[in-house]
Amino acid sequence: GIILAGALSAATTAVIGVYHAGVEQGIFEGPTSCTSSAIDNMSADDLLAQIMAAPLVRCDDIPWQLAGISMAGWNAIVSIVLCGLWLMALKRR
């Protein structure tokens, strides 16, 4: 029921948090819509077109950190803890 749904929701956000933190740290390559790519083989016109079409916020850039951990990292940590709490509640049931 609701306990299992809570555990699955927390696990889902934990996976997303780990992925996003990994993108920020350069462990994973992020989606091309919000990360920069190599510009070695681009013409000036292609580069200008990419710059003009670029989104305002990059997802591989860490805007700020708390205790050296990005908000995506904190999301992963808190979600893992919440998932554990939900699973403990499910086990007690």
Label residues 58-92 b or e (16+ Cβ within 10 Å = b): bebebeeeeeeebbbbebbeebbebbeebbeeeee
Break the chain into its structural domains and give their ranges: 2-61+69-92
Q: What is the pLDDT of residue 55?
A: 63
pLDDT by residue (tens digit) across 71-93? 999 999 999 999 999 999 999 98
- Longest CA–CA span in the chain (Å) reads 63
Q: So what's the pLDDT on residue 38?
A: 64
Is a pLDDT exceeding 70 seen at residue 28?
yes
